[in-house]
Chain A
Amino acid sequence: MSKKVLVVDDSKISRMFIRQHISAAHPDWVLSEATTGEEAITMIDAEQPDYCTMDINMPGMLGTDAAKEILAKYPNIRLVIFSANVQESYQEQARALGTILVSKPVNPQSIAQALNYFTGE
């Protein structure tokens, strides 16, 4: 069944790699992109995606703050935090949000981890 995924990352390269890997695994899924936490919140309201990948360190709002707001409003969205910053304190923040922190770089292994979380495997 087709799913909608919102990819939130200020890095064009990261968005491109996330798109490539997810599309390769699920060609029927519909992907959209946001480059800031604020834009993600607006797009979530409009598009109601099933899944979301969220970078932490972006211009403006931190990804963890955007994720908190999104998950409070839409608790059924499966959201993963995608970050190069894997300090224990950030992993704790992800756990507190009820989600997981997937370590960048974006590669087949990290995407598989995100996809497994999305689909509950």
Chain B
Amino acid sequence: MNLSELHFDALSKIIKIGTECAAQGLSDVIGESVQSSTPHVELIKLGNVSAPALHLNAEKFGVVSEEFCGAFNAELLMLFTAENALHIVQNMMGEEMDIDMVREVEHEAMGELGNIMINAYLSSIADALHIPIESSLPRYAVKSCEEVVDYIQQAKIKEFLLASHINLVVKEQPVEGKLFLLIDSNSISNVIDEINQFIG
């Protein structure tokens, strides 16, 4: 599939807005302002996915995933480095909670945080394109860099990965977040149709 420059630009803008809404979701959860960079968006064929191509430069990641259906079928992965995930959970639960307790609630808290951030992303895209989208329940796992790449490469019926990378600052600590939308060409075509109606 070849996207025209205009279509990729429109798609990037929608993804960027979604990513910024997800960052705002993080800010709402921890009750602190979160500074964010402009997201960087790339379209990658799944055959070309590798750790360097995805800018995965840590050993372990906290990964929340959710599947979508509706006008397009896709799966969204939200990644933070494992260290950043713990930092975020600590902020979410209150700094008085010690690190052992933070580790105890990490899965539950990251699942809920992921649900909020992913749905903020999803809702902004659905509303921008005027299409309803349904989502599955969030799943959270800590994965190594290799496991993330394997997971993406083995994804069913997905052909492309729309990657958005965003740099955040949470309570003076830099946090790198990634949102990977796994999507097939039919779904991209449907989104392009919606964009065509959107841009007239």
Contacts and interface: CB of A to CB of B under 8 A. Distances in A.
B59 interface: no
B127 A88 contact: yes
Interface residues of B, number: 24
Contacts of B112: 11, 13-14, 105
Nearest to B130: A88
A57 to B, nearest CB: 6
A104 B108 contact: no
Nearest to B119: A84
Contact of B25 (A14, A59, A88, A105): A105
Contacts of B73: none
Contacts of A59: 137
Tell me the interface secondary structure of chain B in the complex: helix
B70 to A, nearest CB: 9
Contacts of A105: 25, 28-29, 112, 116
A113 interface: no
A84 B119 CA distance: 6
A85 interface: yes
Contact of B115 (A12, A57, A88): A57
Interface residues of A, number: 18
Contacts of A58: 137
Contacts of A119: none
B135 interface: yes
Which of A12, A59, A86 has the most chain B CB within a 10 Å cutoff? A86
B149 interface: no
Given A12-B108, A13-B109, A107-B31, A84 B115 contact: yes
Nearest to B29: A105
Contact of A83 (B28, B108, B119, B130): B119
Interface of A: 10-14, 57-59, 83-89, 104-105, 107
